[in-house]
Amino acid sequence: MSILPIVLWPDARLKARCTTVAGEDMGTLPADMLETMYAAPGRGLAGPQVGALRRIFVMDAGWKSGTPTPRICIDPVVTPLGDETSTVEEGCLSIPERPVKVTRPARIRLDYTDETGAAQSVELEGAEATIAQHEADHLDGKLIIDGLEEAPA
């Protein structure tokens, strides 16, 4: 496994829409992304943040509190569940020291393929829902600073 360099804003790769993986062998990328995320230290990391313009992200909402729950999400699809929203201050490893308050659906269903090729479907809320949506946004070239009047300094 290797720690990968994290792509920083305003690199154009962060604004690119990623292509599907669709069963391709990802090699060590998923494991490298987890190692990079933990070393950063973050709770999520998407393909474009390490220069891989593929629809993959990794996340672990619990590791910082002592309950590791690593998840490798390939070709993820996020579906909001209900009308309830949550506003949380989010940070981003590609835009360090620039947290932004973001409003998102409070509950989601996350459908994805895991690292073994198995289809997965989970309902998430709280930090897990926020992280999954944040990382899925990266795959569509969306950043937490989009819509802000002033770009980060």
How confident is the model over 27-46, as a mean pLDDT? 97
Give the fold, CATH level 3, of 12-139.
Peptide Deformylase (3.90.45)
Torsion of CA 131, 43, 111, 120, to 10 degrees: -150
Question: What pLDDT is attached to residue 103?
Answer: 96
pLDDT digits (tens, 9 = 90+) for 106-125: 999 999 999 999 999 999 99
Structure-token pair, residue 77: 């699809």
Q: Which of 35, 84, 128, 135 is catalytic?
A: 135
Give the Cα separation of 46 and 54 in Å (integer): 9
- Domain-by-domain residue ranges, the chain? 12-139
How confident is the model over 16-36, as a mean pLDDT? 95
Give the Cα separation of 134 and 128 in Å (integer): 10
Question: What pLDDT is attached to residue 149?
Answer: 53
Residue percentage of the chain with pLDDT more than 70: 96
| CB of 70 closer than 8 Å to CB of 58 | yes
Question: What pLDDT is attached to residue 1?
Answer: 78
pLDDT digits (tens, 9 = 90+) for 42-67: 999 999 999 999 999 999 999 999 99
Look up 150 and say whether it is catalytic: no
Q: What is the mean pLDDT of the chain?
A: 95
pLDDT digits (tens, 9 = 90+) for 142-152: 999 997 655 44
Q: Is the pLDDT of residue 9 over 80?
A: yes
Structure-token pair, residue 13: 């790769």
